[in-house]
Amino acid sequence: MRTLLALLLALLPAAAVEPPTVSVSLNSGAPRMAPGAPWIAVTTVLLEVDPEAPAPLEDEAPPALEFVVTNEQGEAVAADWLRRELEPAQELYGFREERLIWTVKPEVTQALPEGRYTLIVRRGDAQAPPVEFELKADEPGDRLLLSQWEELEGRPDAAMAQVDAELVEHPESVPALVRKAELHERAGHIDEAVAAMEQAMRASNSDGSEPSQLQHRYLELMAIWGQ
């Protein structure tokens, strides 16, 4: 019986030991974007958990995330947020991270006037530090952002086309080469992924004074080859 009880307790989610940390980033932290650019928001709810203590059984689901976008006048702006759940919550190193991706279509943002905006995300009593950004008509398009958008929309070829267009203009762009490797790896094209990462490392000006994240990614790819 005691074994069964222990097993049941082990199956319960771990108890949170502090209030959740709610955060949001929009378009990878870009301070400016053009009307008509997609909005890709990543929300994270981070809980520190005590694996020794089982969580109390809750009757209610955790509070939903609430999105509010306001303009310079503090008026709420209509934005049709689409929730995209790519991964289940992960528990690691004593934390539980619930990560969600939300998007707003380009045709929705296209209708918004230029100006400053604020994105506020709440989850019950917890609120993420607000994200402030500006819509500017002459802001150049971000092809790597569009590449993410295309991938989220299920169009990997279009995602790669955006990266390739960026590389035509900036052949030594490390973020673009890393993105290219990422897309190739996800498609199972390891040779091409390694080649792109090789190019990224050649293009990098890192002086080795800090551990190279490109080298780390490269090693991950090489590990697939057993190296």
* Binding footprint of other proteins on the chain (CB under 8 A): 21-25, 28-29, 40, 42-44, 46, 48, 87, 90, 92-95, 97, 99, 101, 127-130, 132, 144, 148, 151-152, 174-175, 178-179, 182, 194-195, 198, 200-202, 204-220, 222-223, 225-227
Q: Measured from the CB atom, is 110 or 213 closer to other proteins?
A: 213
Specify whether the CB–CB gap between 101 and 149 falls below 8 A.
Answer: no
Q: How far is the CB of 59 from other proteins (least distance, A)?
A: 28
Q: Measured from the CB atom, is 1 or 96 closer to other proteins?
A: 96
Q: How far is the CB of 1 from other proteins (least distance, A)?
A: 36
Q: How far is the CB of 92 from other proteins (least distance, A)?
A: 6
CA distance 227 to 183: 21
Residue 19: half-sphere exposure toward Cβ, Cα within 13 Å = 9
CA distance 72 to 169: 35
Q: Measured from the CB atom, is 6 or 186 closer to other proteins?
A: 186
Q: How far is the CB of 181 from other proteins (least distance, A)?
A: 11
Q: Measured from the CB atom, is 108 or 145 closer to other proteins?
A: 145
Q: How far is the CB of 46 from other proteins (least distance, A)?
A: 5
Specify whether the CB–CB gap between 27 and 139 falls below 8 A.
Answer: no
| CA 217 to each of CA 72, 80, 145, 214, 224: distance values in angstroms, whole numbers, following the listed order | 41, 35, 21, 5, 11
CA distance 92 to 97: 8
Tokens of 64: 């939903």
Q: How far is the CB of 147 from other proteins (least distance, A)?
A: 8
Strand ranges (E), 79-130: 82-84, 90-92, 95-104, 115-123, 126-127
Specify whether the CB–CB gap between 46 and 23 falls below 8 A.
Answer: yes
Q: Measured from the CB atom, is 64 or 219 closer to other proteins?
A: 219
DSSP 39-79: EEEEEEEEEEEEEEEEPPP-SSPPPPEEEEEE-TTS-B---
Q: Measured from the CB atom, is 108 or 194 closer to other proteins?
A: 194
